[in-house]
Amino acid sequence: MPQLNPSPWFSIFIFSWLVFLTFLPTKVIKHTFPHDPLPQPAGLMDPQPWTWPWT
């Protein structure tokens, strides 16, 4: 039964985790959003009261 021999499967397991831990975090960190919202000062916001049609 080849499944009981851990030598090839263990090396594949270690290699795959090395790939995941080296390439994926760098790709995730480099990700940027296309439309980054700009902070606006609170003084420009003038909220209007909501007019409910049934009141």
How confident is the model over 1-55, as pLDDT tens digits?
456 677 788 888 999 999 889 988 888 888 777 777 777 776 666 677 888 887 6
Q: What's the rounded Cα separation, in Å, for the pair 31 and 38?
A: 18
Q: What pLDDT score was predicted for residue 16?
A: 92
What's the predicted TM-score (pTM) here?
0.42
Domain ranges of the chain: 1-30
